[in-house]
Structure 1
């Protein structure tokens, strides 16, 4: 077995398409669009690479066949913000062979150490703001939009490579029938009465540019130095908003304002993985027709962002937004939702998800390794 550095366009396409060899018989796998992966890894199209660097590797067997892939990533913004010399291993995929796993992890760790890192965490794809962690439990259903999926044997491979748990991330599944709708309505009415200057409304898509500015103002103040967090740059934030714009359902996006001041947001997105699973990574004319057809058949959403700036927390604003998305989500034809991901030790958010009737149904594990 040997490790090959990705150097050519052909190598890169092999890197991108390798997952099809791993998941071809797995009915729960959701292939990413090949064009999206190409854009994600392209320094000219993804502003992440303006403050990050990476090296991609392929594992080859004695016949020259690809049996694994991995990337080593250094995000300078993460290093600076978290004040730790931590690099990532990313895009991990491999056959069920511990020797392949050990060689790829060792190669990645060596590259990170040679470039000044003292710790490695992962998997990422490529950053902690993208898909993160290995699915650890809950293998009986497909992932929701922008959430990871992997074979169960990856967990054993990581442990045999000497990696240890860094953090577990929870995904809560919520059903309309379990939601405490009357309680949420009482909370919302009480908060609105106590704070008459509070407005919670949907995003105005006709004023999208200014709405995105309001979202970023909240984002810059609501997210703190949580484990694994690194702020998006302005270019990254606006890029993500433009990427999601064709996918958003305005009735699932909420802004909370105190007068004219944006103080909170909640972002729900239809679970487009239901559609992507039928496209097999392609987006040609036939796949576009499939996309349009199956889009209307999505029955669940992912609540992927919820935040209130610090000075306005614990006033019930979160409850008002939760009530809005439960009521409106059902009206729009989405009786089920996933609330993800939530840090295992984020007690406040875990309690909120449980209050909404949510139950942990998938756990994702992030691994770490000391490089000293």
Structure 2
């Protein structure tokens, strides 16, 4: 559940974004003919990070509250303590998503692998860790869309496309970005400080992305019954534009 999961059932006209699954329109009906049925849907939201301003009044109030409240603080990822900060983020993630459908926590070995795998994509300016009353509370990570950077590679990195990819990544040629990971610890859910902190982290990440030349950001994936996260996406002026489906099939003994 922490990798590329779900079958695309809506939004085939939009390009596939990094670390998200893709498929053809005939896949879902073929699977359903084989006896599989919907278990749950997941949404991908798309935000034009230059649009949606001024932000809705509620969003502005939450960000203003977080900015002025001394108990709510945040910082950028510390490159000198990269692995430790990734561990902090995964601590938040495992807590925040623990009650969601199908959730499996990241074990220590997976966290170490994730840190190594994502390090080339992570910029401290787009990775924020938040605190409430000095306690670790939230985080957000925004990364560039490698799929856009790999356009024209025909799915191949060898012999020289890997060098082109690194060069394009350095030059910041992509306009699409994605928030693959974010979370707020459950003890702060539905609290003013928690919601204000998340709103502030989103605005910080979007502002940093705009400075780097990004124009859009996908927030994905979000379970259809995760009302609090859907509300956060909507407050960020993001709109659902793709649907992914988890299928299930009864196996009789």
Q: TM-score, normalised by structure 1?
A: 0.62
1:178–1:356 Cα contact (<8 Å) kept: no
Find the aligned partners of 2:49 and 2:115 in 1 and give their Cα distance.
28
Aligned to 1:118: none
State the number of aligned residues. 244
Unaligned stretches of 5+ residues in structure 2: none
**Cα distance in 1 for residues equivalent to 2:84 and 2:5:** 30
CA distance in 1 between partners of 2:74 and 2:93 (Å)? 16
5 Å matches for 1:103-118?
Answer: none
Q: Are residues 1:190 and 2:65 paired?
A: yes
Residue 257 of structure 1 contacts residue 263 of structure 1 at CA under 8 Å; is this kept in 2? yes
| Larger RCO (CA within 8 A; separation ≥ 6) | 2
What are the superposed Cα offsets for residues 35-85 of structure 1, whole Å, 9 maximum, x if unpaired?
xxxxxxxxxxxxxxxxxxxxxxxxxxxxxxxxxxxxxxxxxxxxxxxxxxx
2:128 match: 254
- 1:171 partnered with 2:44: yes
Q: CA RMSD in A?
A: 1.8
Determine helix, strand or coil for the equivalent of 1:199. strand
Distance 2:91 2:50 in 1: 35
CA distance in 2 between counterparts of 1:177 and 1:210 reads 32
For the residue of structure 1 that corresponds to 2:160, the secondary structure is helix
Match of 1:4 in 2: none
Partners of 1:332 and 1:177 lie apart in 2 by 12
2:156 matched to 1:276? no
Q: 1:220-269 deviations in whole A, cap 9, x for unaligned?
A: 32221210110111101111111000111221111002354321111111
Q: Which residue of 1 aligns with 2:197?
A: 317
1:252 touches 1:328 (CA, 8 Å); kept in 2? Answer: yes
Q: CA deviation at 1:364?
A: 0.8
1:299 aligns with 2:172: no
In the alignment, does 2:22 pair up with 1:146?
no
Q: TM-score, normalised by structure 2?
A: 0.89
Q: 2-side partners of 1:276 and 1:350: how far apart?
A: 30
Which residue pairs with 1:204 in the alignment?
78
Q: Which residues of structure 1 form unaligned runs of 5+?
A: 1-127
Cα 1:360/1:213, change in 2 over 3 Å: closer
Tell me whether 217-226 or 326-335 shows the greater mean CA deviation: 217-226
- Is contact 1:142–1:149 with CA below 8 Å preserved after alignment? no
Cα offsets for 1:95-143 (capped at 9, x unmatched): xxxxxxxxxxxxxxxxxxxxxxxxxxxxxxxxx2111111101111221
